[in-house]
Structure 1
Amino acid sequence: MPTRTLKDLAEQMRGIDIAMLSTITENGYIAGRPMSNNGEVEYDGTSYYFTHEETRTVGDIRREPKVALAFQGKDGFSLAVEGQATLSQDRAEMQAHWTPDLDRWFEQGLDTPGLTMVTVVAERAHYWAGSDEGEVTV
Protein backbone atom coordinates (compact mmCIF):
# COMPACT_ATOMS: atom_id res chain seq x y z
CA MET A 1 0.00 0.00 0.00
CA PRO A 2 1.56 3.34 -1.05
CA THR A 3 2.28 5.66 1.83
CA ARG A 4 3.59 8.62 -0.13
CA THR A 5 1.96 11.29 -2.26
CA LEU A 6 3.25 13.02 -5.37
CA LYS A 7 4.15 15.98 -3.15
CA ASP A 8 6.23 13.67 -0.92
CA LEU A 9 8.03 12.31 -3.98
CA ALA A 10 8.67 15.83 -5.26
CA GLU A 11 10.37 16.73 -2.00
CA GLN A 12 12.66 13.69 -2.22
CA MET A 13 13.50 14.53 -5.84
CA ARG A 14 14.98 17.90 -4.89
CA GLY A 15 18.69 17.85 -5.43
CA ILE A 16 18.65 14.96 -7.92
CA ASP A 17 20.80 16.40 -10.70
CA ILE A 18 20.46 13.72 -13.37
CA ALA A 19 17.53 11.60 -14.57
CA MET A 20 17.87 8.63 -16.90
CA LEU A 21 15.47 9.01 -19.85
CA SER A 22 14.68 5.76 -21.69
CA THR A 23 13.04 5.53 -25.10
CA ILE A 24 12.10 2.73 -27.46
CA THR A 25 14.34 2.61 -30.55
CA GLU A 26 13.28 1.87 -34.11
CA ASN A 27 14.45 -1.74 -33.60
CA GLY A 28 12.39 -2.14 -30.43
CA TYR A 29 15.36 -1.88 -28.07
CA ILE A 30 15.41 0.38 -25.05
CA ALA A 31 17.88 3.26 -25.17
CA GLY A 32 18.71 5.28 -22.06
CA ARG A 33 20.62 8.48 -21.61
CA PRO A 34 21.27 10.88 -18.73
CA MET A 35 19.37 14.16 -18.82
CA SER A 36 19.80 17.20 -16.61
CA ASN A 37 17.04 17.33 -14.01
CA ASN A 38 16.11 20.69 -12.52
CA GLY A 39 15.81 19.88 -8.84
CA GLU A 40 14.82 23.47 -8.08
CA VAL A 41 11.41 22.95 -9.67
CA GLU A 42 8.62 21.36 -7.64
CA TYR A 43 7.79 18.11 -9.45
CA ASP A 44 4.11 17.95 -10.39
CA GLY A 45 4.25 14.93 -12.67
CA THR A 46 5.68 16.79 -15.66
CA SER A 47 9.39 16.94 -16.46
CA TYR A 48 11.25 19.08 -19.00
CA TYR A 49 14.55 18.25 -20.69
CA PHE A 50 16.55 19.81 -23.50
CA THR A 51 18.35 18.12 -26.36
CA HIS A 52 19.31 18.66 -29.99
CA GLU A 53 16.82 17.98 -32.78
CA GLU A 54 19.07 15.47 -34.57
CA THR A 55 19.52 13.15 -31.57
CA ARG A 56 18.29 9.59 -31.27
CA THR A 57 16.16 10.80 -28.35
CA VAL A 58 14.07 13.01 -30.63
CA GLY A 59 13.79 10.37 -33.35
CA ASP A 60 12.71 7.74 -30.84
CA ILE A 61 10.05 9.99 -29.31
CA ARG A 62 8.67 10.90 -32.72
CA ARG A 63 8.16 7.19 -33.44
CA GLU A 64 7.04 6.11 -29.95
CA PRO A 65 6.21 8.72 -27.30
CA LYS A 66 6.01 6.24 -24.38
CA VAL A 67 9.12 6.80 -22.24
CA ALA A 68 10.51 6.03 -18.81
CA LEU A 69 12.47 8.14 -16.34
CA ALA A 70 14.65 6.86 -13.52
CA PHE A 71 15.80 8.92 -10.55
CA GLN A 72 18.25 7.91 -7.80
CA GLY A 73 18.28 10.07 -4.71
CA LYS A 74 19.67 10.10 -1.19
CA ASP A 75 19.18 7.44 1.46
CA GLY A 76 18.15 4.70 -0.97
CA PHE A 77 15.34 6.69 -2.59
CA SER A 78 14.61 5.58 -6.17
CA LEU A 79 11.81 6.56 -8.51
CA ALA A 80 10.73 5.01 -11.82
CA VAL A 81 8.32 7.09 -13.90
CA GLU A 82 6.36 5.93 -16.94
CA GLY A 83 4.84 8.58 -19.18
CA GLN A 84 4.25 10.18 -22.55
CA ALA A 85 6.74 12.53 -24.16
CA THR A 86 6.16 15.44 -26.51
CA LEU A 87 8.64 17.63 -28.38
CA SER A 88 8.66 21.40 -28.79
CA GLN A 89 10.86 24.02 -30.37
CA ASP A 90 8.61 26.89 -29.29
CA ARG A 91 10.92 29.53 -27.82
CA ALA A 92 8.37 30.81 -25.27
CA GLU A 93 7.71 27.29 -23.97
CA MET A 94 11.44 26.58 -23.75
CA GLN A 95 12.13 29.92 -22.03
CA ALA A 96 9.63 29.02 -19.28
CA HIS A 97 11.69 25.92 -18.39
CA TRP A 98 15.23 27.08 -19.14
CA THR A 99 17.74 27.33 -16.30
CA PRO A 100 21.22 28.88 -16.50
CA ASP A 101 22.98 25.57 -15.71
CA LEU A 102 21.85 24.30 -19.14
CA ASP A 103 24.33 26.70 -20.77
CA ARG A 104 27.12 24.17 -20.15
CA TRP A 105 25.49 21.86 -22.75
CA PHE A 106 23.97 24.51 -25.01
CA GLU A 107 26.52 27.32 -25.33
CA GLN A 108 24.15 29.51 -27.37
CA GLY A 109 21.38 29.04 -24.84
CA LEU A 110 17.90 29.31 -26.31
CA ASP A 111 19.50 30.38 -29.61
CA THR A 112 21.17 26.98 -30.05
CA PRO A 113 20.26 25.72 -33.53
CA GLY A 114 17.94 22.69 -33.34
CA LEU A 115 17.31 23.10 -29.61
CA THR A 116 14.38 20.88 -28.67
CA MET A 117 12.50 20.54 -25.39
CA VAL A 118 11.25 17.13 -24.33
CA THR A 119 8.23 17.24 -22.03
CA VAL A 120 7.39 14.05 -20.16
CA VAL A 121 3.95 13.83 -18.58
CA ALA A 122 3.95 11.04 -16.01
CA GLU A 123 1.21 8.45 -15.94
CA ARG A 124 2.49 6.48 -12.97
CA ALA A 125 5.44 6.56 -10.62
CA HIS A 126 6.86 3.66 -8.63
CA TYR A 127 9.10 4.54 -5.70
CA TRP A 128 11.38 2.75 -3.27
CA ALA A 129 12.60 4.34 -0.06
CA GLY A 130 14.15 1.89 2.34
CA SER A 131 11.45 -0.61 3.25
CA ASP A 132 8.73 1.70 1.92
CA GLU A 133 7.64 0.94 -1.63
CA GLY A 134 4.62 2.05 -3.60
CA GLU A 135 3.09 3.43 -6.73
CA VAL A 136 1.49 6.80 -7.32
CA THR A 137 -0.89 7.32 -10.23
CA VAL A 138 -0.39 10.78 -11.62
Structure 2
Amino acid sequence: MSKTLQDLSQKMRKIDIAMLSTHTAGGNIAGRPMSNNGEVEYDGTSYYYTYEDTRTVQDIEKDDRVSLAFMGEKGFSVAVEGKAKLMRDKASLEEHWTKGLEQWFKDGVDTPGIVMIQVDATRVHYWDGEDQGEIKL
Protein backbone atom coordinates (compact mmCIF):
# COMPACT_ATOMS: atom_id res chain seq x y z
CA MET A 1 0.00 0.00 0.00
CA SER A 2 1.47 3.36 -1.02
CA LYS A 3 2.26 5.87 1.67
CA THR A 4 1.59 9.60 1.50
CA LEU A 5 4.01 12.32 2.53
CA GLN A 6 1.93 12.75 5.69
CA ASP A 7 2.32 9.02 6.50
CA LEU A 8 6.08 9.35 6.14
CA SER A 9 6.15 12.52 8.23
CA GLN A 10 4.64 10.73 11.23
CA LYS A 11 7.31 8.01 11.12
CA MET A 12 10.14 10.46 10.42
CA ARG A 13 9.38 12.33 13.66
CA LYS A 14 11.01 9.49 15.58
CA ILE A 15 14.32 9.85 13.69
CA ASP A 16 16.81 12.10 15.46
CA ILE A 17 19.59 12.35 12.86
CA ALA A 18 19.54 12.66 9.06
CA MET A 19 22.61 12.16 6.88
CA LEU A 20 23.03 15.12 4.48
CA SER A 21 25.17 14.34 1.42
CA THR A 22 26.65 16.87 -0.99
CA HIS A 23 28.85 16.78 -4.09
CA THR A 24 32.39 17.96 -3.39
CA ALA A 25 34.54 20.08 -5.69
CA GLY A 26 36.48 16.94 -6.64
CA GLY A 27 33.31 15.13 -7.69
CA ASN A 28 33.09 12.89 -4.64
CA ILE A 29 30.12 12.62 -2.30
CA ALA A 30 30.48 13.84 1.28
CA GLY A 31 28.01 13.02 4.03
CA ARG A 32 27.54 14.42 7.49
CA PRO A 33 24.96 13.92 10.25
CA MET A 34 22.47 16.73 10.81
CA SER A 35 19.87 17.06 13.54
CA ASN A 36 16.36 16.18 12.33
CA ASN A 37 13.77 18.18 14.23
CA GLY A 38 11.03 15.75 15.15
CA GLU A 39 8.67 18.56 16.14
CA VAL A 40 8.37 19.72 12.54
CA GLU A 41 5.92 18.00 10.21
CA TYR A 42 7.80 16.95 7.09
CA ASP A 43 6.19 18.43 3.97
CA GLY A 44 9.03 17.88 1.50
CA THR A 45 11.19 20.72 2.82
CA SER A 46 13.85 20.29 5.51
CA TYR A 47 15.84 22.89 7.42
CA TYR A 48 19.28 22.50 8.99
CA TYR A 49 21.64 24.98 10.63
CA THR A 50 25.39 25.11 10.15
CA TYR A 51 28.25 27.59 9.99
CA GLU A 52 29.30 29.68 6.99
CA ASP A 53 32.87 28.33 6.97
CA THR A 54 31.94 24.64 6.58
CA ARG A 55 32.60 22.35 3.66
CA THR A 56 28.86 21.75 3.52
CA VAL A 57 28.25 25.39 2.57
CA GLN A 58 31.11 25.36 0.04
CA ASP A 59 29.73 22.21 -1.59
CA ILE A 60 26.18 23.60 -1.85
CA GLU A 61 27.44 26.87 -3.37
CA LYS A 62 29.08 24.82 -6.16
CA ASP A 63 26.32 22.22 -6.62
CA ASP A 64 22.89 22.53 -5.01
CA ARG A 65 21.93 18.87 -5.60
CA VAL A 66 21.87 17.05 -2.25
CA SER A 67 20.44 13.96 -0.64
CA LEU A 68 19.13 13.15 2.82
CA ALA A 69 19.03 9.69 4.39
CA PHE A 70 16.83 8.81 7.35
CA MET A 71 17.08 5.47 9.16
CA GLY A 72 14.25 4.59 11.52
CA GLU A 73 13.05 1.60 13.47
CA LYS A 74 12.06 -1.81 12.14
CA GLY A 75 13.43 -1.36 8.62
CA PHE A 76 11.92 2.08 8.02
CA SER A 77 14.20 4.20 5.80
CA VAL A 78 13.75 7.29 3.66
CA ALA A 79 16.03 8.62 0.91
CA VAL A 80 15.39 12.18 -0.26
CA GLU A 81 16.84 13.81 -3.37
CA GLY A 82 16.54 17.56 -3.52
CA LYS A 83 17.91 21.02 -4.10
CA ALA A 84 19.55 23.01 -1.32
CA LYS A 85 19.39 26.76 -0.72
CA LEU A 86 21.53 28.68 1.74
CA MET A 87 19.54 31.13 3.84
CA ARG A 88 21.26 33.88 5.77
CA ASP A 89 18.52 36.40 6.47
CA LYS A 90 17.51 36.63 10.11
CA ALA A 91 13.76 36.37 9.39
CA SER A 92 14.19 32.94 7.74
CA LEU A 93 16.52 31.77 10.52
CA GLU A 94 13.99 32.81 13.17
CA GLU A 95 11.03 31.26 11.33
CA HIS A 96 12.52 27.75 11.49
CA TRP A 97 14.44 28.01 14.77
CA THR A 98 13.50 25.45 17.40
CA LYS A 99 14.34 25.09 21.04
CA GLY A 100 17.44 23.04 21.68
CA LEU A 101 19.50 24.39 18.79
CA GLU A 102 21.28 26.61 21.30
CA GLN A 103 23.51 23.68 22.21
CA TRP A 104 25.25 24.20 18.84
CA PHE A 105 24.56 27.90 18.29
CA LYS A 106 24.92 29.61 21.68
CA ASP A 107 23.67 33.02 20.50
CA GLY A 108 20.70 31.59 18.62
CA VAL A 109 20.03 33.25 15.26
CA ASP A 110 22.53 35.95 16.24
CA THR A 111 25.39 33.43 16.33
CA PRO A 112 28.18 34.78 14.09
CA GLY A 113 28.45 32.84 10.82
CA ILE A 114 25.20 30.90 11.19
CA VAL A 115 23.57 29.67 7.95
CA MET A 116 20.36 27.72 7.39
CA ILE A 117 20.25 25.03 4.72
CA GLN A 118 16.82 24.57 3.14
CA VAL A 119 16.42 21.31 1.25
CA ASP A 120 13.44 21.12 -1.11
CA ALA A 121 12.77 17.50 -2.04
CA THR A 122 12.28 16.50 -5.66
CA ARG A 123 12.00 12.76 -4.97
CA VAL A 124 11.33 10.78 -1.79
CA HIS A 125 11.87 7.02 -1.75
CA TYR A 126 10.88 4.99 1.30
CA TRP A 127 11.20 1.46 2.60
CA ASP A 128 8.98 0.24 5.43
CA GLY A 129 9.48 -3.44 6.04
CA GLU A 130 8.43 -5.05 2.77
CA ASP A 131 6.52 -1.98 1.64
CA GLN A 132 8.37 0.53 -0.50
CA GLY A 133 7.46 3.39 -2.76
CA GLU A 134 8.35 6.72 -4.25
CA ILE A 135 6.82 10.18 -4.04
CA LYS A 136 7.83 12.78 -6.63
CA LEU A 137 7.43 16.41 -5.68
TM-score by structure 1 length? 0.97
Task: Give the whole-Å Cα distance in 2 for the aligned partners of 1:15 and 1:110.
Answer: 25
Structure 1: 4+ residue segments shifted above 6 A: none
Percentage of matched positions with identical amino acids? 60
Question: Which amino acid is the alignment partner of residue 99 of structure 1?
Answer: T
CA RMSD of the aligned region, Å? Answer: 0.8
Q: C-alpha displacement at 1:108, in angstroms?
A: 1.4
Q: How many residues align?
A: 137
Q: Is the 8 A contact 1:15 1:40 kept in 2?
A: no
Which residues of 2 match residues 40-59 of structure 1 at below 5 A?
A: 40-59=39-58
Q: Where do 1:90-129 residues align within 5 Å?
A: 90-129=89-128
1:108-130 per-residue CA deviation (whole Å, 9 max, x = no partner) reads: 11111010000000000110010
- Structure 1 gap segments, 5+ residues each: none
Deviation at 1:17, TM superposition (A): 1.0
CA distance in 2, matches of 1:43, 1:3: 17
Instruction: Identify unmatched segments of 5+ residues in structure 2.
Output: none
Partner of 1:28: 27
SS at match of 1:41: coil
CA offsets per residue over residues 1-48 of structure 1, 9 Å max, x none?
x61111111111012111000000000000000001111111000000
The answer to whether the 8 Å contact 1:51/1:118 transfers is: yes
